[in-house]
Amino acid sequence: MPSTLPVKVGVMQGRLSPPSPQGPQAFPWMHWFDEFYIASRLGLTHIEWLVDVRDMAFNPIWTQTSQIWKASEWTGVDVLSVCLDAAMHVPPKTLNGWLSGQFIENLLINMNEIGSKALCIPLLETTSLDQTSQRSDVVKALASACKSAHLKGIQIAIETDLDTGSSLDAVKAVSMDNFGLVLDVGNAYTFGYDAIEQYVTLAETIRLIHLKDRSEENVSVAIGHGRSQVLELYHRLCEDSLKAPITLEAFRGFNFEADIQLQLDSLAKASRL
Burial degree of 121 (CB within 10 A; 0-12, 13-18, 19+): buried
List 268's β-bridge partners, or say none: none
* Statement: residue 57 has pLDDT above 90: yes
Of the chain, the end-to-end C-alpha distance in Å amounts to 22
Can you give the pLDDT at residue 242?
A: 84
Q: What are the pLDDT digits (tens) for 176-213?
A: 999 999 999 999 999 999 999 999 999 999 999 999 99
Distance CA 98, CA 239 (A): 39
Q: Check residue 255 and report its DSSP letter.
A: S
Check: CB of residue 81 under 8 Å from CB of residue 120: yes
Can you give the pLDDT at residue 1?
A: 60
Can you give the pLDDT at residue 24?
A: 83
Give mean pLDDT, residues 33-62.
97
Q: What are the pLDDT digits (tens) for 222-235?
A: 999 999 999 999 99
Burial degree of 133 (CB within 10 A; 0-12, 13-18, 19+): exposed
Q: Which position has the higher pLDDT, 184 or 2? A: 184
* Statement: residue 89 has pLDDT above 90: yes
Can you give the pLDDT at residue 3?
A: 66
Q: What are the pLDDT digits (tens) for 225-271?
A: 999 999 999 999 999 978 899 999 999 999 999 999 999 999 999 99
Question: Which band of pLDDT confidence, cut at 50, 70 and 90, is reported for residue 273?
Answer: confident
Segment (H or E) for 11: strand 10-12
Q: Residue 235: which residues within 8 A CB-CB, separation 6 or more?
A: 270, 271, 273
Residue 105 C-alpha from the chain's centroid:
20
CA proximity to 28, closest of 60, 5, 63: 60
